[in-house]
Structure 1
Amino acid sequence: MTIAFETLLRTVEEMDTPDGFKAELIRGKIIVSPLSKLRHVRRMRELRQQLEPLAPDGHIVEYMPLLFSFPAAERAYAPDLFVVDEAAFDGEGRHADAAALSLVAEFTSAPTRDADWKEKAEVYGQLVPVYLVVDMQDSEITCFWDPSPHGYRSRTTISFGEALHVPAPFRCKPGTTGF
């Protein structure tokens, strides 16, 4: 971890963002963006409820803005929804280690869409087993899996209303009719 990344990460952690906003470290810059739109909450809750019984032992499913650090990539993100080993919250810091994540879901909006599809897919694709991009503009969900040092090796896209295959460690088909 470089000193510059540590300094930026500490700054993000200590920021007092306005209500309804979150701060992330994207492309070496502190980016403040709005929290998910109200219309996303029902979909996040629906996805959370479908994933909770299938999460790996000791993992929790949440959709609160918590910061996860990717030191090798010098990034820190606050995913819209995530599944994480609950041991990630045993520390004293203000951010969790991204290595504890087993799934991340980002719900796109105009200000975040580019980062969700490109930047975050690249960084998550080196570490997080499953990444879901819930594209609210195109009414589709893309599931990325099989991370590698060069990014995800597999992906599939479905339209809202279809069942989405989510591979290991979940091995489930959450429905999206409510999306």
Structure 2
Amino acid sequence: MRDDTNTGGDRAVSAAPVLQDSSWDELVEVFEHLDPPEGWRAEIIDGRIVMSPPPAPKHNLIADSVQRSIYPALPRDIVLFQTAGVSAPPFPGQYVPDLIAFPRDATEGESGVIPGEAALLAVEITSKGYADTGRTTKLHAYARAAIPLYLLIDRFADRWPTVTLYSDPAEDVYRAAHAVPFGKPLVLPEPFDVTIETADFPR
């Protein structure tokens, strides 16, 4: 039996800082000239460029399940992308959620980065050894960017695998959170109005 805890996104501690202690402009210049291997993800987190390998199958199966749940009810003017870059001002950061929903017209810029204030939903699936990034760093960054909904799918939560929907951002915190264990449904509110079924999420 394959143990996928040591591959891809479940080994995200392998994400390596490429450049540190540089100005934002320098970071962006280096970032824009990166040529990561196919499937690798590059982000700017806490003033560093961080690269992580392709996610493992269980990670991708969860992303696929969430995407299939959302698509049938998605309005035509809203798109759902995998691994699109999103900015999170006012602090330097360019993050790549596992899934991000935003209005179609937000893709009209040349940079390929979605402004955080345009996003409607960010979804992160934790990786073993790297889960605190989704639980803390990205939680605060997405709240600062005023992304109204943040869905954190935490396969490695302390007690049991958990799905948490954060909402009502203010400054760098979400003032509301609703959590369910894997196996229980979770409702995404407007503009989605769909139920995420978590019973088939791999653990």
Tell me if TM exceeds 0.5. yes
> For 1:143 and 1:76, how far apart are their aligned partners in 2?
21
Partner of 1:170: 192
**Alignment counterpart, residue 110 of structure 2, candidates 92, 116, 122:** 92
- Amino acid of the structure 1 residue aligned with 2:61: R
Alignment of 1:18 onto 2:37: yes
Partner of 1:67: 85
Equivalent residues in 2 for 1:30-69, closer than 5 Å = 30-56=49-75, 58-63=77-82, 65-69=83-87
Aligned length: 176
Moved more, 68-77 or 3-12: 3-12
Partner of 1:114: 132
- Amino acid of the structure 2 residue aligned with 1:173: T
> For 2:80 and 2:53, how far apart are their aligned partners in 1?
21
Deviation at 1:160, TM superposition (A): 0.8
**Alignment counterpart, residue 148 of structure 2, candidates 111, 123, 129:** 129
- Amino acid of the structure 1 residue aligned with 2:68: Q
Listed as ranges, the gaps of 5+ residues in structure 1 are none
SS in 1 for 2:102: strand
Moved more, 43-52 or 88-97: 88-97
Partner of 2:119: 101
> For 2:74 and 2:130, how far apart are their aligned partners in 1?
26
Deviation at 1:105, TM superposition (A): 0.6
Regions of 4+ moved over 4 Å: none
* Contact 1:121/1:131, CA 8 A, preserved across alignment: yes
Which TM-score applies when normalising by structure 1? Answer: 0.89
- Amino acid of the structure 2 residue aligned with 1:71: P
* Contact 2:166/2:176, CA 8 A, preserved across alignment: yes
